Amino acid sequence: MHNPPYATELKPYGRALVALAEQRDDVICLSGDLTRQTEIDLFQERFPERFVHAGMAEANMISMAGAMAREGLQPFVHTFGVFATRRPYDQIVNAVAYPNLPVRLIGFMPGISSPGGPSHQAIEDVAIMRALPNFTVIDVADALEIAQVVPHLATIPGPVYLRLKRGEIPIIFETDHELRLDKAHILTDGDDVALVTNGMMLAASLDAARTLAGAGVGVKIVHVPVVKPLDSATVRRAVEQARVVVTAENHSVIGGLGSAVAEVIAEAGLARPLRRVGMQDTFAEGSRTAPYLFEKYGLSTQALIDSVWAHLGHDGAAPIAERQELAVGEYQPV
């Protein structure tokens, strides 16, 4: 893995989708009036005949995508996460999930990565999509994983929800990293804490683990890009090997990754105390910048460090995360 600050890429998803469409002529691309914002302007330029402007009509877009999938097409449907899940949920159930069709739903701007307020912050998308039978739910962490996950999607027989960060995407992994959809990735080893995370919280978790290691705390990071179906065997093993468990997600702590891990712990009968870092059953607000929200709602690297420190029962002040000056185009978590 690279060290922060991370280099970034623009539009890794859009490029990966074009590359997939070069290989497969059944891939079609639907836009809910957010074409450039969801990186599919690249697809529109390259394959205009396979690009469908569905307009600001998410319910219709999802129902159409279901019918198109019945015809042997692979519809990739794009909008912001809130509009991809909340708004057409009943259509997703009836037109996609229940008939178990290969519709790929791509929701951008997960959790509180948008400063646009609760209307634009998908803080419950993982929870509601995880509740749907047949759906695969994915939250990858960096540009490399995005490039790798797209061709994987076309091999999944049923529907998929993929939530993706917008804008500058960090490059966290080395090029030899191989994304697995059937396995969680153990990224660091340590006996004190199992830190289970994914998506935008991976970078913060890595930073937190580095700082904690300097203070003598061993952190085993379990990166879980596929929330459902969950690799519960790997999660269970990591939990068994740790004193305490912490989950970190850019999402409500209700129903998402933290809940999935809690289910594993409870069903395995493991007696490990769990803390869930994430949105604590609250909505956020509009702001000038997203980092302000990560700080305010306890999703920062320091909040993670503090949580682990307290959870282990350490007295005194927790170690402080190092912060570096960022050049333009570089990324480090809040």
Partner 1 sequence: MTTTSTPVKDTVTLARGIRRRAVDMIAPQGFGYLGQALSSAETVAALYGSYLRPGVDRFICSPGHYIIAAYAAAAEVGLLSEEQLLSYGQDGSDLEAIGTERTPLVDLTCGSLAQGLSGAAGFAYADRLRSRTGSRVYALISDGELEEGQVWEAAIFAAHHRLGSLVVILDANNSQVDGPLDSITTIEPIADKWTAFGWHAMDIDGHDVAAVHAAFDSALKDERPSIIIARTSTVHGLDVLPPDADGHFIKLPPELAAAAREELADA
Q: Interface with partner 1 by CB under 8 A: which residues?
A: 28, 49-50, 52, 54-55, 57, 59-60, 62-68, 70-71, 73, 90-91, 93-95, 98-99
- As a dihedral over the C-alpha atoms of residue 94, residue 96, residue 99, residue 101, rounded to 10 degrees, the angle is 170
Is-contact 148 176, C-beta < 8 A?
A: no
Within a 13 Å sphere around the CA of 49, how many CA atoms are in the beta-carbon half? 2
- Residue 299 burial (CB count, 10 A): 27
> For residue 17, what is the enclosing H or E element?
helix 12-23
Min CB(14)–partner 1 separation in Å: 21
Min CB(80)–partner 1 separation in Å: 18
* 3-state DSSP assignment of residue 80: strand
Within a 13 Å sphere around the CA of 210, how many CA atoms are in the beta-carbon half? 14
Q: Is 66 or 278 the residue whose CB approaches partner 1 more closely? A: 66
Min CB(65)–partner 1 separation in Å: 7
Min CB(57)–partner 1 separation in Å: 4
Beta strand spans in 110-230 (E): 136-138, 160-164, 168-170, 185-186, 193-197, 219-223, 226-228
Q: Is 57 or 268 the residue whose CB approaches partner 1 more closely? A: 57
Q: Is 101 or 146 the residue whose CB approaches partner 1 more closely? A: 101
Min CB(184)–partner 1 separation in Å: 32
- Residues for the chain: how many in total? 334
Q: Is 62 or 242 the residue whose CB approaches partner 1 more closely? A: 62
Min CB(28)–partner 1 separation in Å: 7
